[in-house]
Amino acid sequence: MGAAADRWRELQSGRGVPPEILARAEASPWTHDPKDFAAPEEPVDTPSRRAALDLLGPGGGTVLDVGCGGGVASLALVGRAAHLIGLDRAQDMLDAFAVGATARGVPYDTVLGEWPDAAAAAGTADVVVCHHVLHNVVELEPFLTALSAAARRGVVIEMLAQHPMAWLDPLWVRFHNLHRPPPATTDDAVAVLAELGVTPTVTGWERVNPPRQHPAWVTRRLCLPADRVVEVAAAMDELPPRPRLAATLTWRTA
């Protein structure tokens, strides 16, 4: 692995929760509600959606959605996508994906597993999409290599400009005296791709201002007990707005 892959691994490893803090948590900080990941009825027109539609072309094709959640990335392509494959490590997310695909009348398959371990089970597709997953990955080189191998035409990645939980770093210092390393960025991901011989088209853009995270969710994420919610809410009021900068990374494989 090259220097860029090593840097990504080091930065991502520093985003973990120390075992001694995790051991004191009343509930898992990683719990998510699938309803929060449901695809909107009307697709949002983003650079990521446009890039995927361009790869599909007028004739359409199949789409593999890696880390699909509720299917926001792939369900936005219905009408051009003839068949969807949703892969996720959480069954409840796959259930939400299935509900969305069924409601839209598009054929689909689901694969339960981690990428790239489950890549063989997912097979190949014309276009591979992967939205807001990279910042959950430590070993990025094999992850990206498997995305390219699965795509007959091309890959579309959407990610935030920096780690999506970096905005909570001041609260980790405040409540746990935990100082995290700088977050990995889009530039770091592009550097890893360069080591793989891939030069993606990078489109930076701004998301619609994200809603304020509920203090109870932030409290759980910080591994604090529920009776600290009011204190956490007050601390959140002192934080700057959550980052809005995102990026779409696209490359053709054929």
Inter-CA distances, 73 with 21, 68, 97, 208, Å: 34, 7, 10, 16
pLDDT digits (tens, 9 = 90+) for 219-230: 999 999 999 999
Q: How many C-beta atoms lie closer than 10 Å to residue 1's C-beta?
A: 13
Q: Among candidates 88, 247, 223, which has minimal Cα distance to 162? A: 247
Q: How many whole angstroms separate alpha carbon 254 and alpha carbon 248?
A: 19
> What would the two tokens of residue 135 be?
């910042």
Residue 103, CA atoms < 13 Å, CB-side half-sphere: 15
C-beta separation of 170 from 239 below 8 A = yes
Paired with 67 in beta bridges are none
User: Alpha helix locations (H) across 90-185?
Assistant: 91-104, 119-122, 140-150, 169-176
pLDDT category at 54 given cuts 50, 70, 90 is very high
Q: How many whole angstroms separate alpha carbon 29 and alpha carbon 17?
A: 9
Q: How many C-beta atoms lie closer than 10 Å to residue 117's C-beta?
A: 11
| pLDDT over 90 at 231, yes or no | yes
Q: How many C-beta atoms lie closer than 10 Å to residue 79's C-beta?
A: 12
Task: Name the percent of the chain lying above pLDDT 90.
Answer: 84
pLDDT digits (tens, 9 = 90+) for 146-201: 999 999 999 999 999 988 899 999 999 999 999 988 899 999 999 999 999 999 99
SS3 98: helix
**Predicted pLDDT of residue 10:** 94
Q: How many C-beta atoms lie closer than 10 Å to residue 157's C-beta?
A: 27
Q: Among candidates 97, 105, 28, 30, which has minimal Cα distance to 67? A: 97
Q: How many whole angstroms separate alpha carbon 190 and alpha carbon 163?
A: 14
Whole-prediction pTM = 0.93
pLDDT category at 233 given cuts 50, 70, 90 is very high
